[in-house]
Amino acid sequence: MRKIAFFFIAACAFPAWADGLKSLENFMKTAHSGRAAFTQAVTAPPKDGQAARTKQSSGHFEFQRPGRFKFVYEKPFAQTIVADGKTLWLYDADLNQVTQRAQDKALGSTPAALLASAPDLAALRADFTLESAPEDGGLQWVLATPKAREGQLKSVRVGFDGEALAVLDIVDSFGQRSLIRFTGMQLNPALPAGAFTFKPPAGADVLQH
C-alpha cells in the first residue's frame, strides 16, 4: 500500500489561548458524525542534500462516533481507508490489494482518535497530552502529543475555524509532515446505512496484520 498529527502565560492572556481546547471540547461533545472534502500534502524531510518533496492528494471524508470513519482518496490515486468499529481496512484500487487490521490495535494514539475514536475529551487525554497553541492563520489550535513514546506519531496540531474542524497538521517520528485541510465540513448529517461497511472487491488480495 502507498504511504499515503505548553507555554505558561499570564492569567490575563489565558482566555485567548484556551480557545483551541474549548473548540476541541465542543467538537467532541457535539459532533457525532460529519463529512467534508479534504486535501492532503505530505512532505518528507530533506535527504542527501535534496530539497524536501511534497505529494498532494485529495478526496472526501466521513466519520461517525464511536469509532467509524472513512477517507476516500480520489486523486492522484484511488485509495480507501475505512474503520467500521472493529476492523481497519486499507484498499489500494490500482494494486487491487486490501490490508485488514484489528481496529483497536491499529489506531490508539493516531489522528483518527482525535476525529472519531475517542468518545470525549477525557478519553482523548488518556492517550494524548493536550495543550492550547497560539492562534495562527485565523484558526484556533490544539497541540496533541502522544503519551506513548514508542509510536510513529510525534505530534498533531488540530486547527479549528470557530467550532468547525479545519486542519490536521501531523508530524511523525521520521520528520514527515502531513497537512490535511478540510472544506465544506457538515456536522451531524444523516449518513446512509452501511456508510462504513467495507467488503473487499472480488479478486483483491487481502493481507491480514
How many angstroms from the chain centroid is the CA of residue 181?
Answer: 10
Q: What angle do CA 23, 26, 29 make, to 5 degrees?
A: 150
Confidence check: pLDDT of 1 > 70 = no
Cα three-residue angle 182-27-156, rounded to 5 degrees:
60
pLDDT tens for residues 82-120? 999 899 999 999 999 999 998 877 765 567 666 777 777
What value does the mean pLDDT of the chain take? 84
Residue scoring higher pLDDT (127 or 3): 127
Q: Is the pLDDT of residue 203 over 50?
A: yes
Checking if the pLDDT of 141 tops 70, the result is yes
Whole-number pLDDT of residue 39: 96
> Which whole number is the average pLDDT over 64-77?
91
Q: What is the rounded CA–CA span in Å between residue 131 and residue 124?
A: 12
Q: Which residue has the cell 512532505?
A: 43
C-alpha 141 chain-centroid distance: 14
Mean pLDDT on 192-206: 93
* Across 7-19, average pLDDT: 34
Contact 120, 135 (CB under 8 A): no
Say yes or no to pLDDT of 143 above 90. Answer: yes
pLDDT at 28 over 50: yes
HSE-up of 171 (CA within 13 Å, CB side)?
Answer: 8
DSSP characters over 116-181: II-SSHHHHHTTEEEEEEEEETTEEEEEEEES-TTSSEEEEEEEEETTEEEEEEEEETTS-EEEEE
> pTM, whole model, 2 decimals?
0.83
Q: Confidence class of residue 49 from pLDDT cuts 50, 70 and 90?
A: confident
Closest CA to 188 of 31, 26, 25, 63: 31
pLDDT at 64 over 60: yes
- Position 62 confidence tier, pLDDT thresholds 50, 70, 90: very high
Q: Is the confidence at residue 68, as pLDDT, over 60?
A: yes
- Sign of torsion, CA 116 140 179 3? negative
Is pLDDT above 60 for 15? no
% of the chain beyond a pLDDT of 70 = 88
Rounded CA separation 56/69 (Å): 21
Segment 77-81 shows an average pLDDT of: 93
190: CB partners within 8 A, 6+ apart: none
Confidence at residue 124, expressed as pLDDT on a 0 to 100 scale: 84
All three cell numbers of 44: 518528507
pLDDT of residue 114: 67
Domains plus CATH for the chain?
Answer: 15-184 (2.50.20.10)
Amino acid at 170: I
